[in-house]
Amino acid sequence: EKLIKVPNLTETVSLPLVKNLDNCSMAGCSNLKEIVVPNSVERVGYAAFAFCRILNTINFEGNRLDFFAPGCFFGSLCIEDVHISTVKYKIKNGYIIDINENIFFCINNVENEEINLDDGIYIYPYAFYGKLAVNELYINIAKVGAFAFENCKIKSVFLEDKVRDID
**Structure confidence at residue 1 (pLDDT):** 58
Contact yes or no for 36/14 (Cβ under 8 A): yes
**Structure confidence at residue 7 (pLDDT):** 62
Task: Examine the pLDDT at 10 and tell me if it is beyond 80.
Answer: no
Q: How far apart are CA 101 and CA 111, in angstroms?
A: 22
Look at the alpha carbons of 34, 69, 90, 152 in this order and tell me if their dihedral is positive or negative.
negative
**Structure confidence at residue 5 (pLDDT):** 63
Over residues 51-59, mean pLDDT: 93
- Of the candidates 110, 106, 150, which has an alpha carbon nearest to the alpha carbon of residue 129? 150
Within 13 Å, how many C-alpha atoms sit on residue 164's CB side? Answer: 5
Contact yes or no for 106/95 (Cβ under 8 A): yes
Model confidence at 12, in pLDDT bands (50, 70, 90)? confident
- DSSP H/E element including 35: strand 34-37
Q: Confirm whether pTM is higher than 0.95.
A: no
For the chain, the C-alpha Rg in angstroms (whole number) is: 16
Residue pLDDT, tens place only, 126-154: 999 999 999 999 999 999 999 999 999 99
**Structure confidence at residue 119 (pLDDT):** 83
Pairing between strand 95-98 and 103-106?
A: antiparallel
Q: How far apart are CA 22 and CA 11, in angstroms?
A: 20
Model confidence at 9, in pLDDT bands (50, 70, 90)? low
Residue pLDDT, tens place only, 82-134: 999 899 999 999 999 999 999 999 998 999 999 999 988 999 999 999 999 99
Over residues 53-58, mean pLDDT: 93
Residue type, 11: E
**Structure confidence at residue 128 (pLDDT):** 96
Task: Examine the pLDDT at 45 and tell me if it is beyond 90.
Answer: yes
**Structure confidence at residue 16 (pLDDT):** 82
